[in-house]
Amino acid sequence: MVSRWQAAIAGVVAAAVALGVAELIAIFSGPPSAPLIAVGATVVDAAPEPAKDFAIRLFGVHDKTALLVGTTILLAVFAALIGLAARRWRWAGFAGIGLFALIGVSAAVTRPNASWTAALPTLLGSAAALFVLFGLLSPTPFALHPYRQKYAAPDAAIGAEQRGTDGTGRRGFMKLAGALGLGAVAAGVVGRMISGRRGVSEARSAITLPQPSSPAPAVPANVDPAPAPLARYVTSNRDFYRIDTALVTPQVDPAGWSLKIHGRVKNPLTITYAQLMAMPMVERYVTLACVSNEVGGDLISNARWLGVPVATLLSQAQPEAGADQVVSTSADGWTCGTPTEVLLDGRDALLAVGMNGEPLPVDHGFPVRMVVPGLYGYVSACKWIVGMELTSFADFDAYWIRKGWAAKGPIKTQSRIDVPRGGSTVEAGDVVVAGVAWAQHRGITAVEVNVGDGQWRPAELAGTVGPDTWRQWSLRWNAAPGTYTLQVRAADTTGELQSSRKIPIFPDGAEGYHSISVTVR
């Protein structure tokens, strides 16, 4: 019989082979069908709000990586236990691997839009795992293999004390296990690489964006006050914040893309990418913000979007009276619900195909996403959009609403200090305090800064193209040596002053003044 250690290693190697083989099969059946991704995605969707909150607080933007690493470690521990159990009882090996296969297959075939082929990576991976597990656990591992003799030969020379009790040799076992483990990792890496290549980045580069029939307003010269602010008025695609639940970015080919507008409409319709691209396009600057942005946080960015007004399509579909919610569905099954009224009130709500002059980046929703000025992303900014269903708020709760977030998500008036950085030391004298303020679709009218003396001084506002974007502000402060707490607050066109009450992001966005500490020397 192999030793306990060898049995545990056999279990882990079998699991690695299962995942490696699964990644290779997933080249054909699609990355979301790989068991690690399918199970991870199921966990993400099922996680209750407190668990998700905890993970984000602990791992920040690395929460998805943490989930995958955590799942892999758990899997390795269970695999070792299965190896140990199978050493005694053969049936335990079958049962253990069978259980994992069941979990993997159930997760993979129940992902949105999954076909039966989604079961293949797990099934073939598990078959390979059974073969490897029992091969390694046998008294003469893979003895039937014709090349077995080659591995066994050098061992014969190393003396009985170094060999296993069965005479096959510990070294031979480790070599085999190591080779299989390495092979499994290589298979996984190669599988992922090929899947990545088979993505839609080529289809994306082949796209030429149409000219807008209604171009974006010219950006005034004074939107970025000197000295250069920390966040530019227009965020580059590369720097634009990214938030979504996708463990692997959905790869949606524009050639096969269509958008179905259905539900409570008089005239259900389906449009293709070519049809959408042929429609009159408008181009607008809109600042997106995430409801999970903490006071002072950076989950907010501004871009120039090119797209078709949502209202154009809705008016073709003709919503029925009482259909007060439009539920957008992403290719990966994520949903968000937007008030029909907001989409029809004349604001520049777009089905966007372009971002800062380029086709939408894949991470930001290629080929088509929704952008709605004034609403947080979780109720409006559906990426990889494939469907819009007219329904009512009474009848349907979208993804985040089921987890307790507010059904309606208007963006709150907020402001942030970007320079100086909190906790930094600056030279006494003329200090520039600067940052951004936002109140999308209402527009910022004033920003005030308190440099620690209780007085609110008006900051200078930089230019803007309109109410749908954030706005830079700055203040010259004649600072004497000391330590100060700086605070900022903004007012919007409703005349309302930003709320000073400190409240957390859940359930409808944080409130409170951004406050930093600065030392002047």
Quickly list DSSP for 50-81.
Answer: HHHHHHHHHHGGGHHHHHHHHHHHHHHHHHHH
Is 493 buried (19+), middle (13-18) or exposed (0-12) by CB count in 10 A? middle
Q: Which residue is nearest to ligand MTE (CB)?
A: 377
Least CB distance to ligand MTE at residue 366 (A): 11
Residue from 288, 375, 386, 419 that binds ligand MTE (CB under 6 A)? Answer: 288
CA 311 vs CA 22, 164, 275, 342, 370: distances in Å:
44, 74, 16, 10, 12
177 token code pair: 């296990």
| Binding status of residue 375 toward Mo ion by CB under 5 A | no
Q: Does residue 124 contact residue 187 with C-beta atoms inside 8 Å?
A: no
193 to 212: interface string for ligand MTE, x by CB under 6 A = --------------------
146 token code pair: 């014709």
Beta-bridge partner residues of 490: 447
Residue 304's binding partner among Mo ion, ligand MTE, none (Cβ under 5 to 8 angstroms by kind) is none
| Binding status of residue 377 toward Mo ion by CB under 5 A | yes
Helix (H) or strand (E) holding 187: helix 170-197
- 471-479 and 335-339: which strand pairing? unpaired
Least CB distance to ligand MTE at residue 247 (A): 11
Least CB distance to ligand MTE at residue 386 (A): 10
Least CB distance to ligand MTE at residue 90 (A): 44
Taking CB under 5 A as the binding criterion, the range among 21-29, 276-284, 369-377, 391-399 that sits at the site for Mo ion is 369-377
| Binding status of residue 15 toward Mo ion by CB under 5 A | no
Q: Does residue 412 contact residue 514 with C-beta atoms inside 8 Å?
A: no
Taking CB under 5 A as the binding criterion, the range among 26-34, 235-243, 260-268, 497-505 that sits at the site for Mo ion is 235-243
| Binding status of residue 243 toward Mo ion by CB under 5 A | yes
Residue 330's binding partner among ligand MTE, Mo ion, none (Cβ under 5 to 8 angstroms by kind) is ligand MTE
336: left (phi over 0), alpha (psi -120 to 50) or beta: beta
Residue 245's binding partner among Mo ion, ligand MTE, none (Cβ under 5 to 8 angstroms by kind) is ligand MTE
Binders in 216-245 for ligand MTE, by CB under 6 A: 240-245
| Binding status of residue 378 toward Mo ion by CB under 5 A | yes
Least CB distance to ligand MTE at residue 434 (A): 23
Q: Does residue 281 contact residue 213 with C-beta atoms inside 8 Å?
A: yes
Count of residues near Mo ion by CB under 5 A: 4
Q: What are phi and psi of 285, to 5 degrees?
A: -85, 125
Count of residues near ligand MTE by CB under 6 A: 18
| Binding status of residue 133 toward ligand MTE by CB under 6 A | no
| Binding status of residue 42 toward ligand MTE by CB under 6 A | no
Torsion of CA 391, 364, 357, 370, to 10 degrees: 10
Cα distance between residue 85 and residue 133, in whole Å: 11
86 to 125: interface string for ligand MTE, x by CB under 6 A = ----------------------------------------
| Binding status of residue 173 toward Mo ion by CB under 5 A | no
231 token code pair: 């966040």
Least CB distance to Mo ion at residue 293 (A): 8
What is residue 283's three-state secondary structure?
strand
- In terms of CB distance, is 151 or 378 closer to ligand MTE? 378
Q: Does residue 348 contact residue 342 with C-beta atoms inside 8 Å?
A: no
Residue 382's binding partner among Mo ion, ligand MTE, none (Cβ under 5 to 8 angstroms by kind) is ligand MTE
Cα distance between residue 36 and residue 68, in whole Å: 7
| Binding status of residue 337 toward Mo ion by CB under 5 A | no
Residue from 18, 36, 290, 486 that binds Mo ion (CB under 5 A)? Answer: 290
Least CB distance to ligand MTE at residue 381 (A): 4
Binders in 368-397 for ligand MTE, by CB under 6 A: 377-378, 381-384
Q: Which residue is nearest to Mo ion (CB)?
A: 290
| Binding status of residue 142 toward ligand MTE by CB under 6 A | no
Handedness of CA 35, 40, 45, 51 (dihedral sign): positive
Residue 381's binding partner among Mo ion, ligand MTE, none (Cβ under 5 to 8 angstroms by kind) is ligand MTE
| Binding status of residue 438 toward ligand MTE by CB under 6 A | no
| Binding status of residue 257 toward ligand MTE by CB under 6 A | no
Residue from 39, 133, 290, 486 that binds ligand MTE (CB under 6 A)? Answer: 290
* Beta carbons within 10 angstroms of residue 371's beta carbon: 28
Instruction: Tell me, rounded to whole angstroms, the distance of Cα 237 from its chain centroid.
Output: 15
Least CB distance to Mo ion at residue 91 (A): 48
Cα distance between residue 160 and residue 142, in whole Å: 21
| Binding status of residue 499 toward ligand MTE by CB under 6 A | no
Cα distance between residue 521 and residue 519, in whole Å: 7
Q: Which amino acid is at 8?
A: A
Of 275, 278, 280, 283, nearest to 357 by C-alpha is 283
CA 422 vs CA 132, 419, 457: distances in Å:
55, 8, 19
| Binding status of residue 330 toward ligand MTE by CB under 6 A | yes
438 token code pair: 């936002």
Q: Which residues in this chain contact ligand MTE in the complex, by CB under 6 A?
A: 240-245, 288, 290, 330, 332, 334, 364, 377-378, 381-384
Q: Which residues in this chain contact Mo ion in the complex, by CB under 5 A?
A: 243, 290, 377-378
